[in-house]
A and B are shown apart, each in its own frame.
Chain A
Amino acid sequence: MTAQIASPTLSVSGLRRYFGTRAAVHDINLELRRGEVLGFLGPNGAGKTTIMRMLTGNLAPSAGVIKICGIDLLDKPREAKACIGYLPEIPPLYRELTVSEYLTLAARLHRVKKVKIAAALDEVVRRCGLNNARSRLIGLLSKGYQQRVGIAQAIIHDPDVIIFDEPTTGLDPNQMRDIRSLIRELGAKRSVILSTHILPEVEAVCDRVQILHEGRMVFSDSVGGLKQKRVSLEEVFVQYTMNIEYPANL
């Protein structure tokens, strides 16, 4: 049991990705344990989404190893993918389906056992506050509800690693707060990676923060450590990503 807690749920080493000759992601190493929420920060185009797409098997890396719960994503994609829940930047929703039809589909695709589907559905619907939207068509839901359905689809199979790409964009402050507390709750027992542009969100939700700039990891620290040093995240962010004469770039 202790070994299970100690072993990382996600470990990434030497991850690279080239688009043509341009390196979008450069030598990324990452390790995540159960009960950790990692905040991914970085200016637009820094490579956050590219990394997340590689972690979820949507994009093949040019080099590097990705292990999810100890399973190599490239060797055994099916087994590894079963341990991940992914909410892309644009939630992948079928507008023609109702919320429960869609979530049942998600459960089936993720091989949730037939007898457990109904229970899993009730659980995510309760967690994501979708109870009064169950039989409504997804296409007719508001942005906030659609985002919640997107989150529900990512967690219905109770994955160990959850990856959220900008989950709170376009939401009102109340919805943001709801989703943040949900992420906190999810992060208690699982590993969560969260990419965002909202710095206070990272301070509120994450245990650890990593800043990405031009495909490189330029900063990594725990949120608690930053607070102790009395440095604000904004200062750090600006310092690391506004740096015009970034040495390795030349």
Chain B
Amino acid sequence: MITVARKELKILFSTPLAWVILALAQCVLTWVFLAHLDTFLRIQPQLVKIANPPGFTEMIIVPLFAMVAVVLLMITPLLTARLIAEERRNHTLTFLVSAPISMTDIVLGKFLGMMIFFSAVIAMAVALSMSLLAGGPVDFGVLLGNVAGLFLLSACFAALGLYISALSAQPATAGAGTLGVLLGLWIIDNVADDTNDGIARNFSLLAHYEGFNRGVIDTFDLAYFALFVLVFLTLSIRRMDSERISA
């Protein structure tokens, strides 16, 4: 499993794709970060007058992490599309299947590799937040809640992307499919916003992240994320196994 994860990362980082994505993500995040910092500094004199003024954390870190969630949503299809579809196209899947490892090892290894990459993106956002320590205190509780939330959210993205990649023979199809489904799961949230607390909202990935974003960890959100990851990883393994039997 770890061998597969290492292989995924090695191949990912041997192409410019991973580096371009990391660089662009960092650009976007820094831009958002600086914009919020600017606003905060401008309205700070007025904030002081309020009894319990919002600090760095509420004004900068929370919106920054909300943006990280969107950035992760956008880059997921680019990275997960190739996971299995490309191996199938290049006939390298045989290499993994013939090796003395199980399908579970292959799928979990690929998932793990993806998560390590996503951790790098999350780490970049954490590093940006840490730079605020130079100017004052940061609420580490909220920061930690955000990191945990992003981690779970990206696990969901990776599991879904992996499954769609297992379904398709071409990376481009898998990428388009994943982007479509992820956007769909995001839009549900926007539609549901008006009605508030509708059933549709319960299915939205980003809606479940909102709690974490504010620093509230809800068991319902935790269960949703855990179930989401579990379902799609299981489906991927089953899909790969059934290919051996019926294809």
Contact = CB atoms under 8 A, between A and B. Distances in A.
B11 interface: yes
A92 B91 contact: yes
Nearest to B11: A96
Contacts of B10: 97, 101
A109 B97 contact: no
Contacts of B247: 59
B91 A90 contact: yes
Contacts of B3: 105, 108-109
A138 to B, nearest CB: 11
Interface string B1-33: 001100100110011000000000000000000
Interface string A40-59: 00000000000001001111
Contacts of A56: 94, 97-98
Interface residues of B, number: 23
Contacts of A186: none
A227 interface: no
Contact of A60 (B15, B99, B102, B244): B244
A130 interface: no
A84 interface: yes
Contacts of B11: 94, 96-97
Given A58-B244, A96-B11, A105-B3, A78 B101 contact: yes
A110 B95 CA distance: 10
Interface of B is mostly: helix
A78 B92 contact: no
A94 B92 contact: yes
A170 interface: no
A81 B94 contact: no
B245 interface: yes
Contacts of A96: 11, 14-15
Interface of B: 3-4, 7, 10-11, 14-15, 90-102, 244-245, 247
Given A56-B97, A77-B102, A94-B7, 13 more contacts: A58-B244, A81-B98, A92-B92, A92-B94, A94-B92, A96-B15, A97-B10, A101-B10, A105-B3, A109-B3, A109-B4, A109-B95, A110-B100
